[in-house]
Amino acid sequence: MDLQSAKMIGAGLAVIGLGGVGAGIGSIFASLISSIARNPSARAQVFPMSMLGFALVEAVALYALLIAFLILFT
């Protein structure tokens, strides 16, 4: 196997972690919706927390993407 195709396969493998991130973001917003549905007055307190959680989980996705970029372009 030559180097270029190995790099392509490696970059593809590196972004498998995005599956976990998808599950994480889904879980954050599912619990946000159910908590607001149960207690709509809690929205103002719960929403910033969910945004923080979303940003933290999304950062994990970007670590995987970063590894893929490093494999492809260096």
Which residues contact another protein by CB under 8 A? 51-52, 54-56, 58-59, 62-63, 65-66, 69, 73-74
Residue in this structure with the two tokens 């973001």, named with its chain if needed:
25
Cβ of residue 37: shortest distance to another protein, in angstroms? Answer: 23
Q: Cα separation of 31 and 39, whole Å?
A: 12
DSSP 17: G
Cβ of residue 63: shortest distance to another protein, in angstroms? Answer: 6
Q: Cα separation of 55 and 49, whole Å?
A: 10
Cβ of residue 65: shortest distance to another protein, in angstroms? Answer: 5
